[in-house]
Chain A
């Protein structure tokens, strides 16, 4: 029972933070929309992108990057949660959280779940705006994408948790931007299909194929068309397990980074 109370409290706190910080919601939506309306418009040539599954015919660049931009929302939110944990640690509210008489993994999971729910809501808002703009998916896709977004969100949130166990100060967040968000986003299939990457450099293509963010994006892309991409699902699940494991280790007072330095 107390487990549920803790879960509710953490969800409630995340919801309050989400509602309270209007700017954050707007920023979370504006970022992908700018990509969609400005960046994609610049690339919108007469030429459709070559046909790769799950697409059956030629598509505009705008249509191509929508799943990648959903991934971008998940990625930024995952990092944002990490940032808020670092903030909590600095402010001291984390000590309150972590001293709750519950297993630490449960508390971290509740935090992860809360962040993911917020991400899914933001993706839903983004997809709604894209649909108004004329980028409409089949209706099954809008249902199938929910579990894909959840899994991708959990995976990237776990990555954020793992990082937050290492980062000591808020100022270091710029490093996260440079060394995590940008490479993850640009070295993925979010903006360009992998065959296009292979044309310029097979090495880049291989790096993209290793990037768990690529698989999260592909999982979302296939789901938006009501299809399942099993390899992507496997890679995302594996990455989730890896990141979650590392985060738990990092937050373990006996062994983790926290313990050694704190």
Chain B
């Protein structure tokens, strides 16, 4: 009954219009989903194997990691035209835009470096040596710390963005793939795909605060591979994509306990919230669709077919 009431509430709320942009790894395209009608409205071609995707602060540009084209493409979201390409180092997989809206931190999977690119001068500022197979990228809300996780070294590398030097390396479980700071910058969360955990660090002194563990009845623990995750705006919950376990976990950020598992499509990677934060869109690689989760009800509402092997997701508000 409460679930129903919550559902009705979310329907009654005024909806802020927006779009969810999804990169399709195998199709070399991005699919644009209307967050109101929950339908794909546009599909734009990109470079080869697009993965990470993020918007500039004013949403006038969208950055796309074209991994196999070894470049970061800058697209005009209004027309889908590629404006220009940025040097990115080899095989860029994930990246993060610094709070200054100018510097991109890019993980170069094949080169064991993190590349810092100035999006205005379109030049590489520096390359920082990190562990083998860097993948996850995060920047602290104050912009002072950047994080790269390396899949093979199993570490989170803490980078001082002022000096571009590593100042700490912390061990996490096997194959870390995604990192994210909490909104207040106090904690860093790092997901480990093979380890099947999320390690939570205190950002101030890089000490481990705890781990989130997952268990789904009837699902082999090998299949539970946490990858992308997002915090709710109030910071109370985290939604964690569990890869081939085909579920998204809802985690209480205070206790680090899992409250619920939501069934989504196959091999869930990453996710993005709708502009009003009432819905969450998850990319399901193998089933080639995006599942829409009602955030308040914590229930899957609909799955939308996109291109082949959707991977990254980002939100753009539109005038509605």
Contacts and interface: CB of A to CB of B under 8 A. Distances in A.
Given A44-B218, A46-B216, A46-B245, A57 B4 contact: no
A119 B195 CA distance: 51
Contacts of A58: 246, 263-265, 287, 291, 300, 303
Contact of B263 (A56, A59, A136): A59
A57 B218 contact: no
Contacts of B266: 47
B244 A46 contact: yes
Contact of B4 (A44, A48, A59, A139): A139
B128 interface: no
Q: Select the residue from A45, A46, A47, A48 with max chain B CB neighbours within 10 A.
A: A46
A59 B246 CA distance: 11
Interface in A26-77: 41, 44-48, 51, 56-60
Interface string B204-220: 00000000000011111
Given A51-B303, A56-B303, A45 B218 contact: yes
A56 B301 CA distance: 7
B154 to A, nearest CB: 25
A56 B300 CA distance: 9
B122 to A, nearest CB: 41
Contacts of A51: 303
Contact of A136 (B3, B217, B245, B292): B3
A56 B245 contact: no
B245 A57 contact: no
Contact of B246 (A47, A56, A139): A47
Interface string A126-144: 0000000000100100000
Interface in B171-211: none
B247 interface: yes
Given A46-B223, A46-B245, A139-B4, A56 B302 contact: yes
A59 B247 CA distance: 11
Contacts of B291: 57-58
Nearest to A46: B219
A46 B218 contact: yes
A143 to B, nearest CB: 14
Contacts of A41: 218
Given A45-B218, A48-B265, A57 B246 contact: no
A47 B287 CA distance: 11
Interface of A: 41, 44-48, 51, 56-60, 136, 139
Given A46-B220, A47-B246, A56-B302, 5 more contacts: A45-B218, A46-B223, A46-B246, A47-B266, A58-B291
